[in-house]
Amino acid sequence: MHGIGPSEARRTGAVLCSQPRMSFRLTIEGKSTTRYSLTLPAGTWVVFENTGPYPQALQNLSRGVATEWFPSNPYASRPGPEILRTRPSQDGRELDTQLWIPVERTPV
């Protein structure tokens, strides 16, 4: 790697050669175009929004939904995907967040 063996490299005044930093690029391409669409079942979704310092804003939002909103409202989460949309500020310190949760009304 350095152009000489280990015992030679230990000698005072040994000249070593360094290799340029290696980098790899891996590209995976499909052979054909795939058309698709996403569909979501109709239903009720609750959307929570929050803005604040990252990661605290996201952590506070999750905690508030679980410990404050669900216990005090007549809704329960239902099967389906939860959707999280985040938009970081330019410097990455702040975060605008939307959390979409599929819900169904619970019997009173």
The residue among 26, 4, 27 whose CA lies nearest residue 15 is 4
Q: Is the peptide bond before 55 cis (omega within 30 degrees of 0)?
A: yes
pLDDT in tens, 37-75: 456 667 888 888 888 998 888 898 888 889 888 888 899
pLDDT mean over 78-99: 90
β-sheet bridge partners, residue 19: none
β-sheet bridge partners, residue 104: 76
How confident is residue 3, by pLDDT bands cut at 50, 70 and 90? low
What are phi and psi for residue 70, nearest 5 degrees?
A: -60, -45
pLDDT in tens, 4-27: 777 777 777 777 666 666 666 766
Q: Judge contact between 93 and 69, C-beta under 8 A.
A: no
pTM of the model: 0.61
